[in-house]
A and B are shown apart, each in its own frame.
Chain A
Amino acid sequence: MMFSAAACGQKEGVADQASGLTGLPAGAAVDPETGALIDPETGALIDPETGEIIDPGTTGGTTTTDDDEVASNDDDPETPSDPEAPSGGDATGVTASTIKIGIHAPITGAAPVPSQSFQKGKDLYWNYLKSKNLTINGRNVEVVFRNDEYNPSQAVTACREMVEDEKVFLLVGVAGTDQIQACAKYAASVGVPYVSAGVTEIGLESLPNYFAIWLSYAQQGPLLADLLTDQLGAVGEKNGFVWFNTPTFRDGHDSFTSAMGQKGAKVDYDKPVAKTAGASEAQAIATELNQRGIQNVHILTSPTFFIQLAQAAVNQGYRPQWVGYGLTMGIDTVANVACRNSRSIDNARFLSPFPAFVDSNKFDPNFRAAGGTDDIMFGLWGMSKVIGEMLKAPGKELTRERFIYYNQNSKPYKTGVLPDVAFNGGHMGGTSMHLMRADCANNRYVTEASFKRDF
């Protein structure tokens, strides 16, 4: 029996999901649109913090549970029937019982991510499925991981190794725009599917094998402008944009400045920064922002540079409203350091593809039950859930050609952690984002809003 990946309404097993939440009705599922819990009997939306009913008449919503995970324990799943779908093809990395995938990410370089989080998080979800005897059409997923050192040429080397030596079925880029772009192009040259974080669209949109599973920077630009103008009062205030001057940020830059203009807000300070910039440049830019009285700053750089800039700013008694795109600015490692520096990023707001770790139980209690201990792991968990859906889509006959075809033409994937993913015949699958806010009282990010398509 073919398993239905995206389900609406109450499902069996949701009681297990909500049972760990104190004071909430047994059997409540999570509504990914609002983060609220859904009463299984009435369909009412319930505030997970207070237990109060938000919307008594609403029904629907989706969640993921042991039963409606992407995985199934059915050893003989149906193959989707689509007469136009390719038959056969390259099944490298796929055996009767396993699918091997390769992940690259920066665990050294200017976007430092705790390496132990990656080591543990890269296969947390897949191990969880295994522990529950759940599979992807009868197969388990094995993960190969490489550090790309936040360096495009190193990223290509890592991807080449994973394709040629490790024989992975597909590649996954977690973070780092230039690295993702470089690896995706390499993957296209050898016909390997490439799934990545939402970054630039430049040079990626036309790649037949490429899939971004959350909003690209160009798509996040209008959303961020919406946040600034509708929620943060940017119209009539002075706004700045500090961005690494790399070609891959150009579309993210242009979409934001254009959207700000359309919303009646002006970008008064537009500062490209060399990717090699360090603390001295950060101090000069903070001085300039302060001198010009910029109140809202969109930051699109490496996290390290952002921390340096925020530190230099707060040292001068200058505390602008920091905002930005997801992903790396909104991780707890950044908050943990920057908040200790005189709470330099308090109330900074960043779009994010996954909710804050502190809120993870509201979105997917299975994550912590499986041993997840931080937000990096939660992000990887969310990515893995989407990738699981994608691997499931072609059915038992999993080849690279069929993977590409079925995912381009699939229905939306709903996982409850990452926003819904729908490729609609293209390659950019993101539909919405979460909004994170730096909570410097606790040196972490909290989820301020979820699954936002606008503000």
Chain B
Amino acid sequence: MRTPVVTFILAALIGLGLLFGAGVENGPNPFITLGVMNGFVYGLVALGLVLVYKGTRVFNFAQGEFGTLGAYFLFFFLTKGLPYWLGIVLAVAGTLVIGLGLERVVIRPLIEAPRINVLVATIAIALALIGIEILIARIEPRSLDSILPALDAAGDPAGITIFGLTIEPQRLIALGVFGGLGGLLAWFFSRTDLGLAVLATSQDSFATKVVGIGVPRMSRFIWGLSAALGAIAGILYVPLTGTLTPAVMTVNILIPAFTAAVIGGMTSLPGAFIGGTIIGVVQSVGGWAGGHFTLGEQTWNLIIPGVEQAMIFVVLLLVLLARPQGLLGKEA
């Protein structure tokens, strides 16, 4: 019941912001729109984090690197001349295989270990993956093509304009995919035996073993799915940034995604998207406000460097003070 209420309140706040921003010269509406768009990317990565947390009670610091790996795989397959769609399939499959391999080699042996050990292991995985990316792909930035070009043949933007913001076709595709995946996962975890088994494993692995659910199988499933989700996020997001570099998703997305997951409640899949939207909007509108409002003769951002980052953490603090388990958080 809480999910629809929180969703409604968030939508109403965004709607009010757009209403008040309408007609204001250099107003916030394009930034609100941009924030919502970015929020869905944060939400998808946060979804992977929530998934692993729900299944294993561990923050997965390697989640961002699954995205970077997926993007690098796609880049590699495209340079080999493969069609884009086939490149995506192979990139997701490749990342999934690596996710499964890491689960088998690093995570599974730690399945009975204290959670802090697993957490440190995920950091080690992230650092190792970044190192491998640098070793193989080198540090130079690359350009990863979008599924559909941002500009038409005449050089004009090919996307649609909403509230003063031109939204690229790639972003629209990403929006659709992220929304669809979110719905699919919500259904999966609430309506399927496998989804319920994953949740049961996270609550009491001993009891699930007793009833015949294989904990290693659940662990394998969670890490594979998490890697695939990360790859999809990377493949859809990196072309929007213009640069494919080692650790690109960790640097750009992981921290906002973590914050989104915490605000949403670490165990809630809808919460990941809601948290992502909040972070995206606060970050984007915060940046706008920093350059728009003045204190004395100076704009906020000249007085408080990184005002948008500060606003994110203010929001995080407020949410955690009011509701330490996050907006939609509860025991799985």
Bound-complex Cα distance A337 to B141 (A): 7
Q: Please give, as numbers and ranges, the residues of chain A lying within 8 Å of B134 by CB-CB distance.
A: 108
Instruction: Using CB atoms, name the residue of chain A closest to B156.
Output: A317
A272 and B243 in contact, given A284-B31, A291-B30, A342-B149 (Cβ under 8 angstroms): no
With A315-B168, A338-B143 given, can you name 5 additional A-B contacts, CB distance below 8 Å? A272-B302, A278-B251, A315-B151, A317-B155, A340-B143
A274 and B241 in contact, given A287-B34, A314-B151 (Cβ under 8 angstroms): no
Q: Which of A287, A303, A304, A344 contacts B165 (CB 8 A)?
A: A287
Minimal beta-carbon separation of A270 from chain B (angstroms): 7
Closest 4 CB pairs of A and B: A311-B242, A279-B241, A340-B143, A278-B252
B109-146, CB under 8 A of A: which get 1 and which 0? 00000000000000000000000001000111111000
Minimal beta-carbon separation of A154 from chain B (angstroms): 15
Q: Are A114 and B149 in contact (CB under 8 A)?
A: no
A315 and B166 in contact, given A108-B139, A274-B305, A342-B149 (Cβ under 8 angstroms): yes
A245 and B38 in contact, given A308-B241, A337-B143, A340-B143 (Cβ under 8 angstroms): no
Q: Are A272 and B301 in contact (CB under 8 A)?
A: yes
Q: Is B47 engaged at the interface, CB distance under 8 Å to the other chain?
A: no
Q: Please give, as numbers and ranges, the residues of chain A lying within 8 Å of B280 by CB-CB distance.
A: 280
Q: Is A435 engaged at the interface, CB distance under 8 Å to the other chain?
A: no
Q: Is A112 engaged at the interface, CB distance under 8 Å to the other chain?
A: yes
Q: Are A283 and B38 in contact (CB under 8 A)?
A: yes
Bound-complex Cα distance A317 to B155 (A): 8
Q: Is B195 engaged at the interface, CB distance under 8 Å to the other chain?
A: no
Q: Are B139 and A279 in contact (CB under 8 A)?
A: no
B275-291, CB under 8 A of A: which get 1 and which 0? 00000100110011001
Residues in B lying within 8 Å of A, measured CB to CB = 26, 30-31, 34, 38, 134, 138-143, 149-151, 155-157, 159, 164-166, 168, 237, 240-243, 245-246, 251-252, 256, 280, 283-284, 287-288, 291, 299, 301-302, 305-306, 308-309
Minimal beta-carbon separation of B252 from chain A (angstroms): 4
Minimal beta-carbon separation of A113 from chain B (angstroms): 8
Q: Are A287 and B31 in contact (CB under 8 A)?
A: yes
A284 and B242 in contact, given A269-B291, A317-B156, A340-B143 (Cβ under 8 angstroms): no
A315 and B157 in contact, given A279-B240, A292-B26, A337-B143 (Cβ under 8 angstroms): yes
Q: Are A115 and B291 in contact (CB under 8 A)?
A: no
Q: Which residues of A257-296 are within 8 A (CB) of B?
A: 269-272, 274, 276, 278-285, 287-288, 291-292
Chief secondary structure at chain A's binding surface:
helix
Q: Are B245 and A288 in contact (CB under 8 A)?
A: no
* Chain A residues touching B, range: 35 or more
Q: Please give, as numbers and ranges, the residues of chain A lying within 8 Å of B256 by CB-CB distance.
A: 280
Q: Are A112 and B242 in contact (CB under 8 A)?
A: no
Q: Are B151 and A308 in contact (CB under 8 A)?
A: no
Q: Are B287 and A314 in contact (CB under 8 A)?
A: no
Q: Please give, as numbers and ranges, the residues of chain B lying within 8 Å of A283 by CB-CB distance.
A: 34, 38, 240, 284
Q: Are B291 and A271 in contact (CB under 8 A)?
A: yes
Q: Are B284 and A280 in contact (CB under 8 A)?
A: yes
Bound-complex Cα distance A344 to B150 (A): 11
Q: Are B245 and A112 in contact (CB under 8 A)?
A: yes
Q: Are B242 and A307 in contact (CB under 8 A)?
A: yes
Q: Which residues of A295-328 are within 8 A (CB) of B?
A: 303-304, 307-308, 310-312, 314-317
Q: Are B287 and A285 in contact (CB under 8 A)?
A: yes
